[in-house]
Amino acid sequence: MQMKHTQLQHATDARRLIQTAQAFYEERDTNKCLESAEFGMEQIARKPISLLPGKDKYLQELHFIVANAFLDQKRVRDSMSESDRERRAFILLGMPISRVPSRDSVLRVRPPAPPRDFKIRIRNLERSLTMSTKRSERCYVLHELARLHVETKQAMKARYYAHKCQNEAKAANLQAWLLNVLFLLARCHLLQNNRPEARAVLLEATGLARSYGFGDIAEFFETCVNVSVEGEIVATTDACLEKRQKDLVDLMQDDDLKSAARYLFRRMSLIPAARRFSIMPGARAEDDDVPVSHARRRQSIIPKTSQPTRIAYKSVHPLGFVDFDR
């Protein structure tokens, strides 16, 4: 009788912890939701199976709440402007951006930062990974390990755990964890300044989100695709340069300035590419007909000076010296 009462009490406590995390999730408070879910997992995991029968079911519910909490960060409302969407994409991808006051819960705070004792946290998660058997638990642990390593700027380890989480989520068909870890994998690539790979991962996540029926998440992923290539020079062809020159000329106020700008661009085209700045930010022009060795050679406007005269000294041999080799 006493054992049954104890089991009922532990089940009530576990249900209360789940309800607390669910309440924070419904309020879209990601930080408090993750904190309460983590606390609930620790409390439930400590209970032996004899005192809390079916505790795996409670843990799976908490894993489900955490997965949806991370996924809800990628949901955007129709009323949200494009600038707010891009700002949210910058923040979630870990890219630098100026902070402005906002009513958006995601924009007010950064994504969950690593705890102060993140080394202990990583050690505990690695221990849990060796003992975990359920797919949902392994996805949660691997996702947390990847996220903590991303926040601590350890991109290689983060990619390792993210790929393992991706394989686990695909094998178990856990859609929320798969989308979350793909977004995290894109962050790993951006941390290593590997923008093409990040773009490819985000495009894959966009297709999966549409196939799962998450249209709002797919739209946000499309915004992230555009943001991920921010600052990258896509093309520096002659057509791009001509368009850039035309845009600069159109900015001039009167005809005299426009004619002067056109004359300046014509004069610039006569100068070797290695000796002039490019009007395309981040691009450097090079002449096709100039060899690489000549293009990289330092050129100066100072006239070449004459080399100093070399004096040939005649060798003087002592008396009686005979060179028999000649």
Report the sign of the C-alpha dihedral through residues 316, 320, 325, 326, in that order.
positive
Average pLDDT of the segment spanning 155-171: 92
Higher local confidence (pLDDT), 274 or 298: 274
C-alpha to C-alpha distance for 94 and 90, rounded to whole angstroms: 6
DSSP 43: H
In the prediction, which pLDDT does 138 show? 92
**Rounded Cα gap, residues 55 and 10, in angstroms:** 10
Output 23 or 253, whichever has higher pLDDT.
Answer: 23
What pLDDT does residue 296 have?
A: 46
Residues 231-243 have a mean pLDDT of 60
Gap between the Cα atoms of 40 and 324, Å rounded:
100
CA-based Rg of the chain, rounded to a whole angstrom? Answer: 32
The larger pLDDT score, comparing residue 83 to residue 21, is at 21
Cα–Cα dist 278/282, whole Å: 8
Query: Does the pLDDT value for residue 17 go beyond 50?
Result: yes
As a whole number, mean pLDDT of residues 294-303 equals 51
Would you say residue 234 has pLDDT above 50? no
**Low-confidence winner among 132-146, 165-179, 235-249 (lowest mean pLDDT):** 235-249
In the prediction, which pLDDT does 246 show? 84
Q: What is the pLDDT of residue 165?
A: 93
Q: How far is CA 75 from CA 111, 141, 214, in A?
A: 15, 23, 9
**pLDDT tops 90 at residue 133:** no
Cβ–Cβ < 8 Å for 140, 66: yes
- What per-residue confidence (pLDDT) applies to 98? 53
- Mean pLDDT calculated for residue range 6-10: 85
pLDDT above 80 (res 303): no
User: What average pLDDT score do residues 115-140 get?
Assistant: 85
Cβ(129)–Cβ(142) below 8 Å: yes
Q: What is the mean pLDDT of residues 289-312?
A: 56
**pLDDT band with cut points at 50, 70 and 90 for residue 209:** very high
Contact between 192 and 155 under an 8 Å Cβ cutoff? The reply is yes
Per-residue model confidence (pLDDT) at position 205 = 92
* pLDDT at residue 62 tops 50: yes
Q: Looking at the predicted structure, is the pLDDT value of residue 192 above 70?
A: yes
In whole angstroms, what is the distance from residue 186 CA to residue 162 CA?
Answer: 10
Give which of 28, 62, 22, 65 is closest to 42, Cα–Cα.
62
Question: Confidence class of residue 80 from pLDDT cuts 50, 70 and 90?
Answer: confident
Q: In this predicted structure, what is the pLDDT of residue 267?
A: 83
Contacts of 14 (CB under 8 A, 6+ apart): 40, 43, 44, 47, 52, 55, 58
Q: What angle is formed at CA 285 by the lines to CA 192 and CA 272, rounded to 5 degrees? A: 150
* Of 272 and 187, the one with more pLDDT: 187
pLDDT greater than 90 at residue 184:
yes
CA-wise closest residue to 297 among 274, 281, 326, 265: 274
User: What value does the mean pLDDT of the chain take?
Assistant: 79
Look at residue 183 and tell me whether its pLDDT is greater than 50: yes
84 versus 149: which is more confidently predicted? 149
For residue 191, give both structure tokens. Answer: 């941390």
